[in-house]
Amino acid sequence: MTSRAGDDGQAIAAVWAAVVDGIRDNSSGLAPVARVCRACVEVLPVDGASISAVTGKNGPETLYASDAVSDRLASLQFPLGEGPCVEAFTAGRAVIISDLARASTAAWPVFASELAGLEVGAVFAFPIRSGAIDIGTLQMYRSRAGALTEADLALALRVVDIAAVALLALHPGPGRQVEGEWLAALPRDGIAVHQATGMLIHQLKIPAKEALARLRAHAFATGRSVDDIARDVLAGRSTLPDPDG
């Protein structure tokens, strides 16, 4: 796992640097968003990715897709009002579908009827948030069915963090400058926290927000740092108590 964490850290650092450079180049337009989508294919076992964002009163629309299949998957969901991307956005949680053929018909029948001819076996959709506000979604797909590992899921969450910064750069809002503190909001360290969060999502079937909240609550209760708790979880030295138990 140590080797994987090191590789992940280098990959994320490279993506982060490319996105920051793109943001600082005022003429780059959607280049940072495109870079995030390409990063998904580079660092994760997926075949394509897309980013959608709220740009007006009509809900999210696709800003960039890495390929034609990604574009089709993203663009048909919000007009239909159903699909993993819509669920991720409206529910504010990751939607992990490792076998789309089995899941889509029951959960999203209209969406499923539009998938004919698309080679899509699995879909992974994540809400992109700024504070408590959902600002868009990052969706990835695999041509064949298959799950993400805990390490893959942790890495995907870090890419989502970068996607949030890329989207905020498009509309930074009053008083927010590209060179300001908000650009440094993405944690460059703390990969153990992301990996532990991914492990809890996978094991407990809970949203990312709740998984992170459990790590922080346990850290507070024991008087230790979140990083220490995360490393214990990854090493199997600690299991978090059920807050309802």
pLDDT digits (tens, 9 = 90+) for 92-138: 889 999 999 888 778 898 888 888 888 999 999 999 887 667 788 99
Higher pLDDT, 28 or 99: 99
Looking at the domain 25-185, which fold is it? Beta-Lactamase (3.30.450)
Structure tokens, 7: 């590789």
Q: Please give the DSSP secondary-structure letter assigned to residue 183.
A: G
pLDDT value at position 178? Answer: 39
φ, ψ of residue 62 in degrees (nearest 5): -70, 125
For 109, residues 6+ apart whose C-beta sits below 8 A from its C-beta are none
pLDDT digits (tens, 9 = 90+) for 61-80: 888 999 999 999 998 898 88
Q: Which class for 163: exposed (0-12), middle (13-18), buried (19 or more C-beta within 10 A)? A: buried
Structure tokens, 8: 């992940």
Domain ranges of the chain: 25-185
φ, ψ of residue 174 in degrees (nearest 5): -60, 130
Stretch (H or E) spanning 51: strand 48-54
Q: pTM higher than 0.95 for the full model?
A: no
